[in-house]
């Protein structure tokens, strides 16, 4: 299945997520007008969500994104691990 | 630390993005000085942020019909319509230790130069976090920054004149949505130099140059042959490629 969500983060930027999923998340693409430094880290953040259960709690997704972001030394502006996780959950429905 | 000021010139979208990245690489390697560059876009162009989807943001078919270039930036942020006659773009490329460590603080500092430049032509503007500059409550400049291997690149646009219908013609907004109400809405949020100043675009360039160079030792220079050679390669293999521009 495929799901999409689009949200304007209050005080932040627009984040759109496309998720391919079955019982588990099979693919994730995050697009929007946010900033992320280094830019290459977005691919790592997308990848860290693949394989998670589609019904996983939002909090667990936040933790996975935060851990990956910390490992990659990421600074996010106009977006956050919470906003990404919320968008993923919205896309899965 | 002597800076280089590269005076205003117009280039294609692909070359503009390529020149910025070529300078970034040369500054990183210690082969080029910190650089302030002013430029325009010819033909008209749309640039999208690093993380945006070209197909979603841009009416690519319409751009092709009109001969408008479409390019993905290496910086984040949103889609921008670059009118060849209605806009000034700057880039500032230097070792990141010359600026505040925090990205938000460095936006504030660099945007401060633009604010001062606008002040010189009688426009009272202010920095509006995250990355905008506003005057009379309306956006007049958008800015985007990246940092790579110790080098900061920030580019930004200053709207000189505004043609909302032209802008909507190439950005992905359905015809139904381009209503007078929506145009009015954009005009209430976005403005341009011409709305508040009689300054020519040349005068605007001069004011921005002065604001950036005040208190700095600098030479007026040009893009070097080595930078141009790198830029030509980037224009061919990266910024002019479908792989890069349509990657999301």
Mean pLDDT, contiguous 10-residue spans, chain B (248 residues): 96 98 98 98 97 95 95 96 96 97 95 98 96 95 96 98 86 66 78 96 98 97 98 98 96
Per-residue confidence (pLDDT) for residue B178, from 0 to 100: 60
ipTM: 0.93
Q: Using CB atoms, pick whichever of A12, A31, A78 lies closest to residue B53.
A: A31
Q: Using CB atoms, pick whichever of B76, B145, B148 lies closest to residue A33.
A: B76
Per-residue confidence (pLDDT) for residue B121, from 0 to 100: 98
Name every chain A residue with its beta carbon within 8 A of the beta carbon of B74.
Answer: 39
Neighbouring CB atoms inside 10 A of B40's CB total 22
Contact A39 B50 (CB under 8 A): yes
> SS3 of B199, please?
coil
Does the structure show a pLDDT above 70 at A16?
Answer: yes
Per-residue confidence (pLDDT) for residue B90, from 0 to 100: 98
Any idea what the CATH number is for the domain that residue A12 is in? 3.30.390.50
Contact B76 A75 (CB under 8 A): no
The whole domain housing B67 covers 3-245
Per-residue confidence (pLDDT) for residue A36, from 0 to 100: 95
pLDDT tens-digit profile of A50-70?
Answer: 999 999 999 999 999 999 999
Neighbouring CB atoms inside 10 A of B137's CB total 10
Contact A33 B52 (CB under 8 A): yes
Any idea what the CATH number is for the domain that residue B10 is in? 3.30.930.10
Cβ(B203)–Cβ(B160) below 8 Å: no
The tokens for B28 are 């990183």
From CA B137, how far away is CA B83, in angstroms rounded?
22
The total number of structural domains in chain A stands at 1
Alpha-carbon distance B227 to nearest alpha carbon in chain A (angstroms): 23
Alpha-carbon distance B220 to nearest alpha carbon in chain A (angstroms): 31
Q: Using CB atoms, pick whichever of B131, B145, B248 lies closest to residue A31.
A: B248
Identify which has the larger pLDDT, B176 or A92.
Answer: A92
- Searching chain B, which residue's CA lies closest to the CA of residue A77? B130
The total number of structural domains in chain B stands at 1
Per-residue confidence (pLDDT) for residue B177, from 0 to 100: 55
The whole domain housing A64 covers 2-92
Per-residue confidence (pLDDT) for residue B176, from 0 to 100: 54
Tally C-beta pairs within 8 A across A and B: 53
Strand partners, A32: A15
- Searching chain B, which residue's CA lies closest to the CA of residue A35? B76
Cβ(B121)–Cβ(B207) below 8 Å: yes
């Amino acid at each position: 299945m495929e799901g999409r969500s689009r949200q304007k983060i209050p005080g932040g930027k627009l984040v759109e997520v496309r998720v391919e999923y079955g019982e588990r998340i099979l693919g994730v693409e995050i697009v929007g007008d946010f900033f992320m430094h280094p830019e290459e880290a977005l691919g790592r953040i997308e990848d860290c969500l693949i394989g998670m259960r589609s019904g996983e709690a939002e909090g667990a997704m936040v933790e996975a994104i935060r851990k990956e972001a910390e490992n990659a030394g990421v600074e996010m502006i106009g977006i956050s691990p919470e906003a990404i996780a919320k968008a993923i959950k919205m896309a899965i429905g | 630390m002597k800076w280089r000021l590269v005076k205003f010139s117009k280039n294609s979208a692909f070359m503009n993005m390529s020149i910025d990245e070529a300078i970034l690489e040369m500054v990183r390697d210690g082969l080029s000085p910190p650089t302030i560059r002013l430029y325009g876009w010819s033909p008209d162009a749309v640039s999208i942020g690093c993380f945006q989807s070209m197909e979603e943001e841009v009416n690519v078919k319409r751009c092709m019909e009109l001969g408008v270039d479409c390019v993905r930036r290496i910086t984040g942020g949103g889609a921008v319509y670059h009118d060849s006659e209605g806009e000034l773009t700057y880039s500032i490329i230097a070792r990141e230790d010359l600026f505040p460590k925090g990205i938000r603080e460095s936006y504030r500092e660099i945007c401060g130069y633009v604010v001062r430049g606008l002040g010189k032509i009688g426009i009272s503007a202010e920095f509006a976090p995250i990355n905008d500059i506003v005057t009379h409550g309306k956006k007049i400049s958008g800015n985007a920054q990246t940092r790579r291997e110790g080098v900061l690149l920030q580019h930004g646009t200053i709207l000189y004149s505004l043609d909302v219908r032209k802008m909507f013609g190439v950005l992905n907004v359905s015809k139904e949505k381009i209503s007078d109400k929506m145009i009015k809405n954009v005009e209430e949020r976005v403005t341009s130099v011409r709305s508040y100043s009689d300054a020519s675009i040349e005068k605007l360039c001069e004011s921005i140059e002065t604001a950036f160079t005040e208190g700095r030792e600098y030479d007026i220079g040009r893009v070097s042959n080595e930078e141009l050679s790198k830029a030509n390669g980037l224009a061919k293999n990266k910024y002019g490629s479908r792989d890069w521009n349509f990657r999301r």
